[in-house]
Amino acid sequence: MRQILFACCTAVLLAACDGHLNFPDTTMKVGYILCTDGNVMSYEDYIKSGKEAIGVVFHLNHNGETEGDGYAVYLHDLLPEAFADSIGTSQGTSADVTAYDGNENTFALFDTGDVSSPMAKQVLDIWYYGQSAYIPSVAQMRLLYAAKNSVNHYIELCGGNPLPDEPDRCWYWTSTEVKGQETSKAWLYSLGSGAMQETPKLQGHKARPIITLNR
């Protein structure tokens, strides 16, 4: 009996050493799907899971420069809205075009008592899943622009709005005010060309929320 057990154990060990056992890949990758319950998985696993998608991973925090473990882009655009409903007040963003601080900027837009941000208020409507989405900063939009070709296929597969190229559709609000003109202007960003445009806050433009991933 002991010989049979030994033989069975040896066979299992040999199979493991031989690399023939298949283990699931738990490493998060660009193009993975973020689900409403917070799980992140490959598109193939997502299809089998029966879960609901809310975003697609577009950045991984390998070097510690960004927050969390990475970022996912929300599947859908927000409708065009003004950055602010009046001008003359700084809304407290960092105004730093190199900072990955969209989350802090969006909170500042919520928290400014003297002026409201119709753009930022829309984000509250997609918090019902417990996903703290926010308006990306200029620096975070640059990351999204760089990953556009890698994620658009998966955004479309999940029924979302692909990130556009067309000049009349590609401009999005960031959550970054223009340094020195914080009371009246914020930055638009083109997901078609990677260009920036300082823009009066009263203009209506769409936004594309992102979500910080913490595993």
Locate 4 and state its tokens.
């049979």
Q: Phi first, then psi: what are they for 186, rounded to 5°?
A: -135, 170
2 pLDDT exceeds 60? no
150 pLDDT exceeds 90? yes
Mean pLDDT of the chain: 88
198 — pLDDT class (breaks 50, 70, 90): very high
pLDDT at 131: 66
pLDDT at 1: 45
More confident residue, 113 or 76: 76
Q: Tell me the residue type at 35.
A: C
Q: What percent of the chain has pLDDT over 70?
A: 86
215 pLDDT exceeds 80? no
Closest CA to 145 of 100, 195, 105, 197: 195
Q: What DSSP line would sit under 9-66, residue for residue? A: HHHHHHHHHTT----------TTPEEETTS-EE-HHHHHHHT--EEEEEEEE-SSSSS
Q: Find tokens 């969390």 and name the residue.
A: 68
Per-residue pLDDT of 19-60, as tens digits, reads 334 434 458 999 999 999 999 999 999 999 999 999 999 999
Q: What end-to-end distance do the CA atoms of the chain give, in Å?
A: 45
79 three-state secondary structure:
strand
pLDDT at 16: 37
62 pLDDT exceeds 60? yes
87 pLDDT exceeds 80? yes
15 pLDDT exceeds 70? no
In 27-168, where does DSSP find H-type helix?
A: 43-49, 102-111, 118-124, 138-157
Q: For the chain, what are the domain ranges?
A: 26-213
Q: Phi first, then psi: what are they for 75, rounded to 5°?
A: -70, -25
Q: Among 23-32, 95-104, 145-154, 163-172, which is the least confidently predicted range?
A: 23-32
120-158 exposure pattern, b = at least 16 Cβ within 10 A, e = fewer: bebbeebeeeebebbbbbbbbbbbbbebbeebbebbeeb
Region label for 128, one of left (φ > 0), alpha (ψ between -120 and 50) or beta (otherwise): alpha
More confident residue, 188 or 129: 188
17 pLDDT exceeds 80? no
d(CA 63, CA 60): 9
pLDDT at 3: 43
